[in-house]
């Protein structure tokens, strides 16, 4: 199975859920920028203070801040596979990832795009109920996704790396779809 992966998709598509399942069985390092940012917020660091208000509005944290986090995490990997969950989220982030991977002499083996209708996304996020999961903020996050993140679909399609996976159905069914696309 491919073990250097990137997950793309709108908020609530299940990137974090599926990444955890795959990394547990495949031994990859799960690198979720959302989780890493939330740990900084919980620890009350300067970086967390800067990120918190931005996340609660449903906006994206600055590329520079996210890149600094990802760089330090990736440079500390010990040769194992990895799954980037929720990063990159903008074209500049994707462009900045390339020299970092070149420096580490690694490359992305597959990009999985989890696709789901807005109505189901909103339903799932409202049920999750995190600080950034109220309807106004969710709608903003969907707009931000369309404007800033969706251009990455063509960015990775043009590189021949993209596979679309329908993200409706049970967690187990979706995991199986992803596994099949990675074999
Ligand atoms: P993230 O933490 O990445 O979260 P997400 O996109 O909202 O959710 P995800 O797709 O992972 O869905 P999940 O599995 O949780 O981002 C949060 C914020 O962090 C961003 O808005 C931004 O501010 C900031 N951020 C993160 N990365 C950044 C970056 N690179 N640059 C700048 N800012 C960044 O699933 C959602 C819910 O659905 C859960 O409750 C789950 O249990 C449920 N669910 C999952 N699969 C299901 C299924 N099959 N059926 C029913 N429910 C399901």
pLDDT tens digits, 52-68? 999 999 999 999 999 99
Q: Is residue 43 part of a domain?
A: no
Range of the domain at 172: 4-31+81-182
CA 183 to the chain's CA centroid: 21
CATH code for the domain of 152: 3.40.50.300
Question: What backbone phi and psi angles, to 5 degrees, belong to 149?
Answer: -100, -40
| 61 domain residue, yes or no | no
Ligand 1 site, residue 174, Cβ cutoff 6 A:
yes
Widest CA span in the chain? 42
Residue 20 maps to a domain: yes
Mean pLDDT computed over every residue of the chain: 96
Nearest CA to ligand 1 atom 23: 55
From ligand 1's centre to the CA of 80, what distance in Å?
24
Tokens describing residue 177: 């779809």
Asked whether the predicted pLDDT for residue 163 surpasses 90, the reply is: yes
Strand order in the sheet with 29-32: 29-32, 82-85, 4-8, 110-115, 162-166
Closest-CA residue to 114 (of 23, 11, 21): 11
1 has pLDDT over 90: no
pLDDT at residue 78, rounded to an integer: 81
**Residue 105 forms part of a structural domain:** yes
Domain for residue 10, yes or no? yes
pTM exceeds 0.85, yes or no: yes
Atom from ligand 1 closest to the CA of residue 167: 49
CB 83 within 8 A of CB 32: no
Residue 42 within any structural domain of the chain? no
The pair of three-digit structure tokens given for residue 42, joined into one six-digit string: 């919980």
Residues 93-145: tens digit of each pLDDT: 999 999 999 999 999 999 999 999 999 999 999 999 999 999 999 999 999 99
Of 18, 15, 8, 23, the closest CA to residue 156 belongs to 8
pLDDT band at 79, cuts 50/70/90? confident
Residue 10 reports pLDDT greater than 90: yes
Q: Can you tell me the mean pLDDT for 83-92? A: 98
Question: Two tokens at 175?
Answer: 């995991």
For residue 145, give every residue at least 6 positions away whose Cβ sits within 8 Å of its Cβ, in sequence order, or none: 10, 11
The residue nearest atom 1 of ligand 1, judged by CA position, is: 34
**What pLDDT, on a 0 to 100 scale, did the predictor assign at position 94?**
98
Residue 154 has pLDDT above 90, yes or no: yes
Q: Which of 23, 47, 60 to mutate to test the pocket of ligand 1 (most atoms within 8 A of CB)?
A: 60
Looking at residue 183, what is its pLDDT?
Answer: 87
Torsion of CA 138, 68, 25, 107, to 10 degrees: 110
159 Cα–ligand 1 center, Å: 25
Q: Is the CB of 177 under 6 A from ligand 1?
A: no
Report the residue among 58, 86, 113, 143 best suited for mutation to probe ligand 1: largest number of ligand atoms under 8 A from its CB. Answer: 86
Nearest-CA residue for ligand 1 atom 21 is 58
How many domains is the chain built from? 1
4-8 and 82-85: which strand pairing? parallel
Atom of ligand 1 nearest to the CA of 88: 30
In a domain? residue 54: no
- Do residues 30 and 19 touch, judged by C-beta distance below 8 A? yes
For residue 5, which of 173, 183, 145, 168 has the smallest C-alpha distance?
A: 183
């Amino acid at each position: 199975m491919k073990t250097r992966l990137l997950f793309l998709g709108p908020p609530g598509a299940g990137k974090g859920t599926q990444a955890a399942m795959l990394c547990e069985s495949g031994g990859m390092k799960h690198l979720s920028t959302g989780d890493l940012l939330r740990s900084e917020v919980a620890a009350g660091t300067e970086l967390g203070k800067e990120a918190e208000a931005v996340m609660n509005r449903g906006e994206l944290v600055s590329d520079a801040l996210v890149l600094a986090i990802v760089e330090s995490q990736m440079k500390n990997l010990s040769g194992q596979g990895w799954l980037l969950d929720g990063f990159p989220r903008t074209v500049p982030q994707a462009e900045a990832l390339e020299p970092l991977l070149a420096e580490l002499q690694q490359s992305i083996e597959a990009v999985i795009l989890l696709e789901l209708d807005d109505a189901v996304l909103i339903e799932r996020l409202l049920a999750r109920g995190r600080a950034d999961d109220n309807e106004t903020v969710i709608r903003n996050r969907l707009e931000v996704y369309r404007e800033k993140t969706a251009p990455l679909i063509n960015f990775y399609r043009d590189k021949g790396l993209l596979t679309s996976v329908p993200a409706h159905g049970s967690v187990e069914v979706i995991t199986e779809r992803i596994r099949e696309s990675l074999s």
